[in-house]
Amino acid sequence: MQQLNPIKFWPPLILLTGTVIYSLLDKEGFLAAAQSINTWILEHFSWLFSWSVLLFVLLLAVIYISPFGRITIGGKGATPLLSKWKWFSITLCTTIATGILFWGTAEPLFHFHQPPASLDINPASVEARNFSMATMLLHWTLSPYAIYTMAALVFAYCFYNLQRPFEVSATLFPLIGKSSSEIIGHLTDIICLYGLVAGMAASLGAGILTISGGLRLFLGIPPSSFLPLIITITIVGTFVASASSGLMKGIRVLSDYNIKAFILLAIFFFCFGPTMPILETGSSAVVAYVQNFLPRSVNWNHALDQSWFQSWTVFNWANWLAWAPITALFLGRLGKGYTVRQFILVNLVFPSIFGGLWMMIFSGSAIHFDTLSNGALFQILTDKGPENVIYAIFESLPFTRLISIIFLLITFISYVTAADSNTSAMSNLCSKGITTEHQESPVFIQVIWGTIVGTLAWMMISYSGIEGIKMISVLGGFPALFLVIAISLGALQLMITTKS
């Protein structure tokens, strides 16, 4: 019988409430404290973030070719929960959320116009274009997905093969065995819950603003303080209802529609956009990415300005790490009945290929149209914000209004799908009685977490004092870094000692 686990539910809820109240009562003090901690982390641990993520990629490659890669998650004869297509679609939609929709066209413009001074290349030049595109591949393919895959793979093996409980601390079992105390397990789960809720709220806030801006721009809806609230209630209500329906219903259906919409949108951009520049820019980007993957992953010999490297690459890794522990619980659930090698393909390789192709098409288009307009897109980026860049690009394509409406729907479904899966994982973590046979938490717990995320997001976009929550989501990546490092050491232990 699944029921609420108060030890894991109340502490992160109280911490989140306290954070919100503090940020509202003392905005300047809160932001100053968060900024100070963030700066200290970046100055002292950037090397650990960058080297760790690179080693995650390399270790997963070794695991893939090792005998451990032949092991079936759940043991021989385990029945898969999902078909391979459903598995991939849910995995992809869970991990990309709304990120590639916004940053796919905005981030490359930053790198194109503001490359690191240490590279000694002119802004908006061919060299800057190649650097920008290679950076997009670094930030959105193998490296970030290795973070998720490492944590999810170890959890899947521990949960299904070693029969460990449904909790983040289960991933530490291969490294420290039964010596892991209950207190350590609870603390690990609480910290990870705190970081993920803040991160989901920040992501939802950005999504609300983007959808709100699109509705006002293309449907003629006048500005209103009620519009963001209505969008928030609609999104939260949808993903809570989907999560409550269970894995085999809501999430599966939404992901299937969403991945097909992603593919159709990419094909449309490729066919009706600057096809030849996309191919040219994309091929150059792949070459530059491969040539510079190792040195730029760790900023070897400080080839890139340290401040740039920290504010972009390390910042990205910290943000992905903040989501990884809880997301791993959901992704790990999906792997039952498939081998370790198949798990790595579906969680690391295939999403990386999709992300790479997406960035070639959308980032390449953004740079092309920005060049043709003498930097007009970058001006929109700096004046109006990253969420407006994609709408400006739509103006250069046929069927502008139709594509914009479709994009709004994709944005909506993308966040719903990601929030759906993570709400399910958070609720399971706060429930008693979750086993390999009974994997769904009570509906009321999912409603509570969905309401909390929605409330935080709405407050964040309604009151300027709540902006620091975004920084808190990144700070959550700091403790998660050490957790995933420990998980990777456990993965190495499993690879060495486990017989297929």
Rounded Cα distance between 231 and 242, Å, is 16
Q: Would you state the pLDDT for residue 280?
A: 96
Which domains occur in the chain, in start order? 3-18+46-497 (1.20.1740)
For residues 474-494, average pLDDT? 92
For residues 342-350, average pLDDT? 98
Instruction: Return the beta strands (E) in 361-434 as ranges.
Output: 431-432
Which residue shows structure tokens 């100053």?
32
- Exposure string over 284-293, b if 16+ CB within 10 A, otherwise e: bbeebbeebb
Name the token pair of 131.
């650097």
Helices marked H in 66-172: 84-96, 99-113, 126-140, 142-156
Rounded Cα distance between 104 and 427, Å, is 31
Q: Is 80 exceeded by the pLDDT of residue 213? A: no
By CB atoms closer than 10 A (0-12, 13-18, 19+), residue 497 is: exposed
Residue 483 is which amino acid?
L
For residues 357-385, average pLDDT? 95
Q: Is 60 exceeded by the pLDDT of residue 269? A: yes
CB contact at 8 A, 202 and 20: no
Q: Would you state the pLDDT for residue 300?
A: 92
- Residue 168's nearest CA partner among 135, 146, 195 is 195
By CB atoms closer than 10 A (0-12, 13-18, 19+), residue 177 is: exposed
Read off the pLDDT of residues 117-173 as tens digits, 9 standing for 90 and up: 999 999 999 999 999 999 999 999 999 999 999 999 999 999 999 999 888 889 999
Read off the pLDDT of residues 347-359 as tens digits, 9 standing for 90 and up: 999 999 999 999 9
Q: What is the pTM of this model?
A: 0.91
Name the token pair of 80.
């898969």
- The alpha carbon of 78 is separated from its chain's Cα centroid by a whole number of angstroms, namely 29
What is the 8-class DSSP label of residue 335?
T
Residue 475 is which amino acid?
L
Q: Is 60 exceeded by the pLDDT of residue 247? A: no
If one counts every other C-beta atom within 10 angstroms of the C-beta of residue 454, the result is: 24
Rounded Cα distance between 342 and 364, Å, is 31
Q: Is 50 exceeded by the pLDDT of residue 1? A: no
Rounded Cα distance between 100 and 410, Å, is 11
Q: Is 90 exceeded by the pLDDT of residue 31? A: no
Dihedral, CA of residue 77, residue 79, residue 84 and residue 87, to nearest 10: -130
